[in-house]
Chain A
């Protein structure tokens, strides 16, 4: 018997699943007492290089409201060619193609090692990938130039048969026709007018598209290409589009002194969504929105064009002083829902020094599985590399992206699904395994995840519904099946099925077992997601109070201080950005976000992780902090002086040079793989950017207690925040008193 640690790791590697509890309390009552609900982090498309997809359709349970997929947990009668569904116990005959089935000739889906299996299904014509660029032209010349180059570069990364489209906007919104010779054509929309999808389609001349595939099945690419002049195969319009992008000018409308440029982001998105909706419903598509500032006019306006009116801050929001907030949010939510319904995802690449309205627009990406990337300028490597990384490929040479995913969760009878938290929307599918208690996005057993990548992870929450007086038979197991249908980036339709089972345990008799099956990391992340989910919808203090009541240990200290829950020192956009990423990254990344990692480099030994504490900040150390969003290299006071003196240039101080180089190399490694690329900060003691580090560490030494601790042991942090020690003390006290 392996340890739980190994078991958990193995499960994660094979199925992409991490449960908070790996033994399940057998009744609702017991489950409730555990505080942390039975839940899991599920990475539907976890990369499985060793999992070759099978080329046939899954076999489904014939019961109408079950439809579970045949899996290794099913009981099979090889002679009778019958299998029993392990969810509803329906007995199903095998289909004719399984006639040759026998003990020794089992299909893959019955083999235990294929608890996760991927099917390739042939339904309808393969749909092309669609990339629709929506580009803000109200940029500084330099920014626009950089963006144009990035876009042109991206064309070379797209598969030749992918369809591309271009919408530019400023004061007006222009939809560019791509296949025209001699004259550049575009359709122009006023930036201030909210148009219905029907109007947009009429105006674009899409009202009579070729008959779209039945049931939303995609058109054959060639047909579609013929009907839509705005979306054309890359290979056909490569040159045109490159030229078009090259000629792209800044928005020509004059911007008077003291005004912001008029930016019709809302209408541009509406047009983009309407365009795709009208041409390629239910086909994988990415709307890639590039913005250099907040929407300033029309529907979805976030701030007026008067510069003297600053964009809303948390302060304004708390005082209910953000007049466009609700309206804009509602507008973008409506767009996001439409887009999600059609399986299109929306990415937002926002590069500006000020806020760009992500708070209002975040739902666009959150609900559709799109990316949000926030940077200072398009002319930064952060943006350029991040954007490039969107088109990265896997070991098969396929894009690390999938579209139009539908995740369905099936549970055995004792268990029901309360909800999910992640980049998904509910499909409102009421099945018997849907719980009445909602956690996250609930009330359904199916979620749509329009944009997926191998690291996209959803938190899924369950409820044990077995009544205390109806015990589960000893040794019984509960099962959960995840069925993920999606469009692979090579345009195939695929279905990945993951079926897992856990033992039921009686909490009273087996409490130790249950305790030992607790996955602290998963639980922390899952609880944090719940916290963030609530933070998005509730007032900040309420969430903290709720969290405090949950009595989560350790991690919660940092979570409490993290930008996911604290808005202090963060703009609304930043908060949205951080939260966006938090609810979709896998467990490892999520942990980094909750508790940044701090490495220390010194002459005293190899690099070592150190406590995220002010006491770790020492003069002769180089610190490397990874908060997921930032990579901070901090040179201690002494190191900084040495470096300034140029010792690293001297041959006799080669070791110092290496010491300086070590964190850089490590950082580079992280930079290579992280998406979005973190902000890279190289600073030193006393540097202004050192604040990124100082704000994260546990303020064990502050100006309040500095002298008590003495000089040698670290750097004091000028803060009134409580330290971990204080927090813990307080927590202990509470734990005792509350139990009383």
Chain B
């Protein structure tokens, strides 16, 4: 459903966005009162739209809501006010509106759930909330205004409306409604319904017309928004609310829905976490609502009461209480809707139920209702769709947020619904606010982007943001590097440092120089400029690229980076055509493409000598643990076949890479596998304090020549050490050994180290166990991330100088100090793989797949990367796995196709809008065949003098990539708490700047998010909650250090899925197409469903407790839930479409990621579910991480503080 909705949305988006992106925003920023108005209009229009859809909306008629709204407002205001004060809610709503609206709409349309929501919400609270939300929505939409236009069309209008409504409704319902409605029960509801209706009705007409007759709606909406703002101020509330019917409505609506929710929630609250709640809730709802509500109220009551102080108090508290109880919001909602809705909305409901599915509007508003009716599934789906609404809601949440926990009572009062949502975990306290469905949904954004991307992405247009990493698209290189190589945080950079500073938007690019391209895209062409080497600018040494301007008839060229004029060498001369382009422009990749490679000459080689082919050295731990876990055996067996797959550029030629073998425990064993030997020779080096290589000839060999000896060796290694009793290992000398071997052979290469334990044997780099949980959370925590000894840093430096890249495979059974061991891999461009508690049986597959991939993947050695930029901007900071000996050259002993480097830029002068900003990333490296090459990626982005342009061309995923790397590096020198705060601050500043400079004037209480960054809060929250920054009790220091280094070289696609895992409902799987993902929240899980969750590192198959037997049979081959073996790591091969599709899906997921994901089957309510839940990032985490809703509220609060 969502999808559908989305898609429809998408289309609107497509239009709107473009328009938005620029036109829309522009208006927003500055001069767009008008646009805003329109936006508002749209919003209003939406409402109208809603009406059209359904009488539903009609029912929700805004008119009524207003009435109720006021009341609610009051309540809200109180509740919120007490918490945050009205402002938050509205704000939230407002900003999003535009976006959210679409979403909401989409959602509405899409899923039955929406309908359901609408029902719940729609009728009762919807109106008010909607209004709030709407307002919020609108505000957000403000930017979206553009969307508005898009919306303008019936669909859009409707959708938006619906979304707005729905979202708002939901949110409001969940939150506001519950309290109000539940508490006040009838009074509010009636009012609520009425209000909504009014709204709707009012708006609806207007809305639909609104587009046309945007005025009324706009006004309303604006008002509403503003009102929404007021709502926050709720304290002030009463007045504002009253004034603003809109705001009121939200509250009013909430009340209603709340009730419903409350009811729903009741059931859920108890089971909240489990998906089960829904069903329960439903059941409970019927009965539950009333009773529970009361019961619930009490708890909330108190707090609410305090907060409630305001009018609503009585109501709200009650409502809140319910909400609290209704943690299960979603499900509850559904159910509740029926129960309460019926009462409240009875009038509405009727329409809704019908409407929900059919009309967006209904759905939006109706959601509540529909949900109720729709049943659990509906809700689940709906939620995602609702996101659009978020905007509206967020505010509320915000308000709630900061206070959330404390204030909750109050909040809960206001947002009974919210509590439910957020509640799942905190259910009881959850008295909070926002409806998760109402806040920006990542899924929605992703789906929209997918829908709008139909054409291949061409890189010829400067400053054009590429599709999201989650979207499949083709790239055509037309002069700028493909987004697969370079992604920027902003494709429209501010012209001045002041602007950049003001906006706080990081200017960074994530560069993946050797990225693997899909088969249908050609790899960079190789250019040979002859003996004199690549042609470069005389001054800045930039390489020939499309940005070089040929002048004087082609005899000279002017550098696009530094403007210096350079003579064209005679052999490169070519005439220009009438446009000033060289005639051969399109024959030469370096003149027409964004990415290409030069053949380097000896001037680009170490010692002016062409490099010999690189070598791979395998260093295998053979201590007791390694042997016992089966690792040694597995590695040796695997190497026998793997050695045939060494990387080569031409598949028909045998690989030039030579190999060598070392085993070690606390001494090292080198092997002579010279082809002339009858049997391998082992040379033991015990002098680990002063490592050296005991042999030269016969250590590094060609695989084919020495095959027999090598196989004999690999057969014998496991035997030789089968009875070992040596438990101590060394580590530093192991790397030294590899390094010395490469030095002796005078070549670059890669070390594959298979290591098991903390190196406690007496040797350089010896480590102590320093894992001290007591330090976590203290100022000394950072020391745990720092290397324990300085030895490895200097060793890393030596490795880099030699071009010795180190890949580390860890098989620890206990603390191994990853923070220290990873120093060398990280500094040399290597990778770290960690297989904790490795057991041959269950982890073999994952390890072997990783190993195979790691050995086979394309890799460049002894690389130096330099990023040149046009005057005015400068690459100032780099993040990733590399070493830097000066401030400009990124040195990578090895650079493989999975490694990304994030580069941050700073202004050192003004940029011009005309020329934009250019960057050229040149990587000099030795290919696996020993060829020295230069890979060049060029990228041009626009420059802007208006902040709005900046905000319109940002890429949140990339920003998050930057933020996470920045933060994860920050933990080395700062307490994690400070790092988190810094992140939140910067994020708040970014958003506040937008709000201040780009958004239409609206009440301060509204949360307004730029379209491009509306997911920033949710993603940022994921970063903040990551194990590195906020570890749970069961997260080891090693895990954190491991993740820390892992993130540091992730590209955008990986970091995206890592922070916001992909959660797919398997039961909707059909061969050929992916089901639409679900938001990472427990409440989105259906007890009767099966879900697949991937993070890029983990893969879970979550099985609900009441899954249909048939599905189980199809997937597991067993009809019984209890018989599912949760230890399996692969699914049985069954001959049925579902099984096939699922296995294919898993296969394709694995194929997409650079690391093999082991499948974990998680049964609902099983122990392992805890692990799984950790990845439901929208929920509260066990380690204290905020739920999305809570965080959004918090963020809003921060923004408001900044604005005030």
Contact = CB atoms under 8 A, between A and B. Distances in A.
B716 to A, nearest CB: 5
Contacts of A174: 683, 694
Contacts of B1141: none
Interface in A158-211: 172, 174, 182-190, 193, 195, 199, 202-205
A187 B688 CA distance: 12
Interface string B682-720: 111111001010111110000000000000110010011
A182 B692 CA distance: 25
Interface string A204-240: 1100000000000000000000000000000000000
B686 A187 contact: yes
Contacts of A254: 696
Given A193-B687, A195-B687, A203-B687, A185 B694 contact: no
Nearest to A191: B692
Nearest to B744: A253
A254 B695 CA distance: 11
B716 A204 contact: no
B690 A183 contact: no
B679 A183 contact: yes
B686 A183 contact: no
Contacts of A187: 683-686
A174 B683 CA distance: 8
A205 B686 contact: yes
Contacts of B692: 172, 190
B667 interface: yes
B681 interface: yes
Scoring A186, A203, A205 by chain B CB atoms within 10 A of each residue's CB, the highest score goes to A186
Interface residues of B, number: 26
Given A190-B692, A193-B690, A185 B697 contact: no
A256 interface: no
A188 B716 CA distance: 20
A254 B744 CA distance: 11
B670 interface: yes
A252 interface: yes
A110 B687 CA distance: 58
Contacts of A253: 696
Given A252-B697, A252-B698, A185 B690 contact: no
A732 B669 CA distance: 73
B680 interface: yes
A203 B686 contact: yes
A29 B695 CA distance: 67
B1195 to A, nearest CB: 60
A578 to B, nearest CB: 38
Contacts of A252: 695-698
B686 A184 contact: no
Contacts of B695: 172, 188, 252
A253 B720 CA distance: 28
A188 B670 CA distance: 9
Given A174-B694, A252-B695, A252-B698, A184 B682 contact: yes
A186 B713 contact: no
B683 A188 contact: yes
Contacts of B697: 252
A183 B687 contact: no
A204 B720 contact: no
B189 to A, nearest CB: 84
Given A190-B687, A193-B690, A183 B670 contact: no
Contacts of B698: 252
A183 B694 contact: no
B716 A183 contact: yes
Nearest to A185: B682
Contacts of B683: 174, 185-188
Given A183-B716, A193-B690, A188 B679 contact: no
B684 A185 contact: yes
A551 B236 CA distance: 130
A247 B683 CA distance: 15
A114 B670 CA distance: 61
A183 B680 contact: yes
Given A174-B694, A203-B667, A252-B697, A186 B687 contact: no
B687 A204 contact: no
Given A174-B694, A183-B713, A188 B685 contact: yes
A174 B681 CA distance: 12
Contacts of B713: 183
Interface string B657-688: 00000000001011000000111111111110
B681 A183 contact: yes
A592 B695 CA distance: 49
A183 B684 contact: no
Interface string B1075-1107: 000000000000000000000000000000000
A262 to B, nearest CB: 12
Contacts of A199: 687
A251 to B, nearest CB: 10
B747 to A, nearest CB: 16
B706 to A, nearest CB: 14
Given A183-B716, A190-B692, A204 B686 contact: yes
Nearest to B670: A188
Contacts of B669: 185
Contacts of A185: 669, 681-684
A115 B154 CA distance: 133
Contacts of A186: 681-684
B681 A184 contact: yes
A189 B683 CA distance: 10
Nearest to B686: A203
A183 B686 CA distance: 18
Interface string A130-147: 000000000000000000
Scoring A183, A185, A203, A204 by chain B CB atoms within 10 A of each residue's CB, the highest score goes to A183
A226 to B, nearest CB: 15
Interface string B399-429: 0000000000000000000000000000000
Contacts of B677: 247
Nearest to A249: B697
Nearest to B726: A205
Contacts of A182: 679, 712, 716, 719
B1132 to A, nearest CB: 41
Contacts of A193: 687, 690
Scoring B670, B690, B694, B712 by chain A CB atoms within 10 A of each residue's CB, the highest score goes to B694
A604 B686 CA distance: 71
Contacts of A190: 687, 690, 692
Contacts of B686: 187, 189, 202-205
A572 B679 CA distance: 44
Interface in B715-751: 716, 719-720
A400 to B, nearest CB: 37
Given A183-B679, A188-B685, A172 B694 contact: yes
Interface string A251-278: 0111000000000000000000000000
Nearest to B699: A252
A188 B694 contact: yes
A102 to B, nearest CB: 64
B83 to A, nearest CB: 68
Nearest to B682: A185
A189 B681 contact: no
Nearest to A201: B686
A299 to B, nearest CB: 13
A193 B690 CA distance: 9
Contacts of B694: 172, 174, 188
B403 to A, nearest CB: 65
6 contacts: A172-B692, A183-B679, A184-B681, A188-B683, A203-B687, A204-B686
Nearest first, the 5 A-B pairs at minimum CB distance are: A203-B686, A188-B694, A252-B697, A187-B684, A185-B682
Given A185-B684, A252-B695, 10 more contacts: A172-B692, A174-B683, A174-B694, A182-B719, A183-B679, A184-B679, A184-B680, A189-B687, A203-B686, A205-B667
Interface of A: 172, 174, 182-190, 193, 195, 199, 202-205, 247, 252-254
